[in-house]
Amino acid sequence: MSRILVIGGGAIGLLTARELAEAGAQVTLIERGETGRESSWAGGGILSPLYPWRYAESLTALANWSQARYSDLCRELQAASGVDPECLPSGLLILDPEERTAALGWAQAHAMRLEQLQPTALAELEPALGHTADGALWLPEIGQVRNPRFARALRRAVEARVLVREHEGVTELLITAGRIQGVRTHQGILEADRVVVCAGAWTAKLLAQLGDPPAVEPVRGQMMVFLIQPGEIRHIVLYRDRYIIPRRDGHVLIGSTLEYTGFDKATTAEAKEQLYRAAGALFPLLRHSPIEHHWAGLRPGSPNGIPYIGAHPQVEGLFFNAGHFRNGVITGPASARLVADLMLARSPILDPSPYGLHASR
C-alpha cells in the first residue's frame, strides 16, 4: 500500500483521492477548511464548458472523456453515499447567433449532437423564455449536477477508504534531496511517499516555495438563485456569457461574473443588479420571483482555462491537478484519472503533455 497525500478537498481533490483509493493506494486527504465548500460548492454544475468551441483541444479532450462517464459516476456516488447528486439531462440552449458557424464546425469535428432551432421550435421547447431570439443552438445531451450535492456525495463515498482531515492548512512542502517527504501543517508533520496538490485557487501560493509556480489565480464569480415552481424553466440557457440553470426542485441559478479581485469573496450590489437584470431579460417570470441567495466563489483561474495536471519537473513524487478555472466539475473525472495514471505509472487515458507545468497554453 503506497502512502499518498492529496492536498485540497474540493471536487478535484475528492475525485483524485477516489481514483487513487480505488487503485489500492493508502490515501490521506487534507483540506484547509471544509471539503467541497469553495469553488466546488459555488459553481453551476453544467456538464460542458460554456461555448465549448472556444477552448483548446486539450480542454475538450478532458470534457469529452468525463461527459461519457458522468451518469455512471453519479449512480455510483449515490449508491455509495445515499446522496443524490441530481445528474439531470437538462439540455443546453445557446441564444448567441454569432456563435453558430463556430458551433456547427465544432460539433461536426467532434461528432457532438447539435441542432439549430427556429423561433417556433424554441418557443415550444422553452415557453417561458422572454428573450426575442432568432432561434437557438440546441445541445440536447448536455446535463448538469447540483454542485453541493455532488461534493457531499463524493465526500461520503470516499470516507470509507480515504482518511479525510479538515481544517488543517498546509504551511510547507517537505523536500529532501529533490524528493517530496510530506508536508508541514499547523498541527504537525504528515509524511507521504507522494503528494498531489489539488488546492484550487490556492495552488500557486502552496507551490511558491519551489519558485516558478503554476499560473493559477483566484477569479471571483458571483451567482444568485431564485425559487419558482418546478418545470416553469426547463433547460439550461446561455446568452452573452450569462447562464440560467433550473434545478429539479424549482431553484433557478443565474451566473456568473468574472472578477479579478484576489482572494476577496465578498458579494457586491452592482453584480447582484447585473445578474437580476440578465435573469429577468431572459425569463420575465424571474422579475417577480424571490431571490433566495446571492453568493461568490473563487475559481482557480489558469491561462486559457487549461488545468495543470502532472508531475512537478524538479521534485520527485510531487504532482499537481489544479487550475481548472470554470470547468472543474466537467473536467474533474478525466483530470483525476489522468493524474492517478501518472502517479501510479499506468498508461494514461490522454496525452499528458498539454497539461504540464511548462506546456504552452
Q: List where CATH 3.30.9.10 sits in the chain.
A: 92-141+217-301
Q: 3-state SS string over 33-69?
A: CCCCCCHHHHCCCECCCCCHHHCCHHHHHHHHHHHCC
Q: Are 67 and 334 in contact (CB under 8 A)?
A: no
The three cell numbers locating residue 89: 439531462
Residues with Cβ within 8 Å of residue 54, at least 6 apart in sequence: 102
DSSP output for 202-262: GHHHHHGGGSS----EEEEEEEEEEE--TTSS-SEEEETTEEEEE-TTSEEEEE---B--T
Question: CATH number of the domain at 92-141+217-301, out of 3.30.9.10, 2.40.50.100, 3.40.50.12780, 3.30.230.80?
Answer: 3.30.9.10
The three cell numbers locating residue 250: 424549482
What residue has cell string 505509472? 345
Say if pTM beats, i.e. exceeds, 0.75.
Answer: yes
Tell me the one-letter amino acid at 33. G
Query: Tens-digit pLDDT profile for the chain (361 aa)?
Result: 579 999 999 999 999 999 999 999 999 999 999 999 999 999 999 999 999 999 999 999 999 999 999 999 999 999 999 999 999 999 999 999 999 999 999 999 999 999 999 999 999 999 999 977 788 999 999 999 999 999 999 999 999 999 999 999 999 999 999 999 999 999 999 999 999 999 999 999 999 999 989 999 999 999 999 999 999 999 999 999 999 999 999 999 999 999 999 999 999 999 999 999 999 999 999 999 999 999 999 999 999 999 999 999 999 999 999 999 999 999 999 999 999 999 999 999 999 999 999 988 8
Q: List where CATH 3.50.50.60 sits in the chain.
A: 3-73+148-214+303-355
Q: What CA–CA distance (Å, rounded) separates 98 from 92?
A: 17
* Cβ neighbour number for residue 220 with a 10 Å cutoff: 25
Please, which residues bridge with residue 88 across strands? 144
Write down the CATH number for the domain with range 3-73+148-214+303-355: 3.50.50.60
Q: Are 252 and 226 in contact (CB under 8 A)?
A: yes
- Cα 168–chain centre separation: 23
* Cβ neighbour number for residue 191 with a 10 Å cutoff: 12
Q: At what angle do helices 147-158 and 70-81 cross, to 10 degrees?
A: 60
